[in-house]
Amino acid sequence: MHFKKGFRVLTLSWSDGNTLIPVNSCLLASAKDTNIIGPVKTFDNRTLAGKRRKLAQTKAPEVMMTLLDTAISAGLKADYILFDSWFSNPAQVTDIHSRGMDVIAMIKKSSRIKYLYCGEQLNIKEIYSRNKKRRGRSKYLLSVDVMVGKENPIPAKIVCVRNKANRRDWLAFICTDTTLSEEEIIRIYGKRWQIEVFFKTCKSMLNLIGECHSLSYDALTAHVAIVFTRYMLLAMEQRQNEDQRTLGELFFFLVDEMADITFNRSLGILMDSLMASLQENLKLSDEQLTAFTTDFEARLPEYLRNALHPKAVAA
């Protein structure tokens, strides 16, 4: 396994199934001082900077719960919490359920994580091997009811499906809302793919990588917030726009508009500087300067004349 020095971005997002909005994030750093790159400063733990750095050196599952608690305290509500197998341990699942929200997550195929099934503590591989699988074109292979958690176990449903990337392999999902059908559990978990698209968009189009070269933790945190704000603006534009263009097309559309505005302003600055220089060095009167400007603009192509007088074109 290879390791690189740097930060990992842990992001909490909200989605209604159509639009994804990043809600909160944290740049995770190593708890070892020898692995930390960039300037290291000491802050009062009561300040925002001190709290942020302390959180950055906390384990990822604990950071996830902190981000979730912050969102809940801000009034954000959600029916289901979705996450991949990295966070899907029984303690995490029961902790989220105690906050009044249900979990739909992918399960780790670990022999150390046990679930109470038919009076026995079994891992997911043992549960899978002891049951008969569904055949044919069924969307899932197996569905069983289990109890998850040690101290205060809660009922949950485990659904196993084929791995589309490897037909010989299988994946397992756990859901604490046992009233949901297997098809609905699979459909809702599929919405988690939006966050993968979100990260791809931020990296490829919104300069999450490559724009900020600072080693300062505060600068990188601010950069991530700026990039996420860019994404939220595009997401809202896409949601409110009546046409069906993709987010990528909207991105290039907005970039083109920004380029036109920059060109118009630059051309106006050049013209103003030219007129000021002519009047100062050649001592032209206002009438001569107006005549020169009119003749000069008449010789320009139409698109340059429109750029010099955007208000007149808009009217």
List beta partners, residue 154.
Answer: 148
Between CA 163 and CA 107 the distance in angstroms is 13
- Same domain for 16 and 1? yes
Q: Give the chain as a DSSP string.
A: ----SS-EEEEEEEESSS-EEEEEEEEE--SSGGG--S------TTSHHHHHHHHHTS-HHHHHHHHHHHHHHTT---SEEEE-TTS--HHHHHHHHTTT-EEEEEPP--SS--EEETTEEE-HHHHHHHSPPP-TT-S-SEEEEEEE-SSS-EEEEEEEEEETTEEEEEEEEEES-TTS-HHHHHHHHHTTHHHHHHHHHHHHTS-TTTS-----HHHHHHHHHHHHHHHHHHHHHHHH-SS---HHHHHHHHHHHHHHHHHHHHHHHHHHHHHHHHHHHS---HHHHHHHHHHHHHTS-HHHHHHH-HHHHH-
pLDDT at 256 over 80: no
**Domain contains 106:** yes
Q: Which domain holds residue 276?
A: 247-314
pLDDT at 234 over 60: yes
pLDDT at site 268:
75
- Same domain for 38 and 136? no
- Same domain for 167 and 95? yes
Most confident of 66-75, 268-277, 279-288: 66-75
As a whole number, the mean pLDDT across the chain is: 84
pLDDT band at 11 (very low <50, low <70, confident <90, very high): very high
- Same domain for 89 and 180? yes
Report the Cα–Cα distance between both ends of the chain, in Å, rounded: 63
- Same domain for 98 and 174? yes
**Domain contains 198:** no
pLDDT at site 1:
52
**Domain contains 196:** no
Above pLDDT 70, what percent of the chain?
87
pLDDT at site 257:
52
**Domain contains 199:** no
- The CB density around residue 148, as the number of other CB atoms within 10 Å, is 25
Average pLDDT over residues 218-227: 91
Maximal CA-CA distance, the chain: 100
pLDDT at site 254:
59
pLDDT at site 270:
78
pLDDT band at 313 (very low <50, low <70, confident <90, very high): very low
pLDDT at 314 over 50: no
- Same domain for 127 and 220? no
> Is 53:47 a contact under the CB 8 Å cutoff?
no
Q: Nearest Cα to 191, choosing from 81, 304, 109?
A: 81
**Domain contains 262:** yes
pLDDT at site 20:
92
**Domain contains 204:** no
- Same domain for 260 and 278? yes
- Same domain for 223 and 254? no
Residue range 158-209, pLDDT digits in tens: 999 998 888 889 999 999 999 999 999 999 999 999 999 999 999 988 988 8
**Residue 51, amino acid:** K
pLDDT at site 8:
87
Between CA 22 and CA 231 the distance in angstroms is 8
Average pLDDT over residues 11-26: 91
Above pLDDT 90, what percent of the chain?
41
pLDDT at site 312:
47
pLDDT at 230 over 50: yes
- Same domain for 34 and 71? yes
Lowest mean pLDDT among 12-16, 102-106, 150-154: 150-154
Average pLDDT over residues 261-280: 74
Most confident of 31-35, 47-51, 88-92: 88-92
> Is 7:23 a contact under the CB 8 Å cutoff?
no
173: left (phi over 0), alpha (psi -120 to 50) or beta: beta
Between CA 156 and CA 127 the distance in angstroms is 14
As given in the structure block, the two tokens for residue 82 are 């979705």
User: Model-level pTM greater than 0.75?
Assistant: no
- Same domain for 138 and 60? no
pLDDT band at 315 (very low <50, low <70, confident <90, very high): very low
pLDDT band at 282 (very low <50, low <70, confident <90, very high): confident
- Same domain for 255 and 229? no
The domain tally of the chain equals 3
**Domain contains 22:** yes
pLDDT at 77 over 50: yes
Average pLDDT over residues 126-131: 93
**Domain contains 282:** yes
How distant is the alpha carbon of residue 295 from its chain centre? 53
- Same domain for 59 and 107? no
> Is 161:139 a contact under the CB 8 Å cutoff?
yes
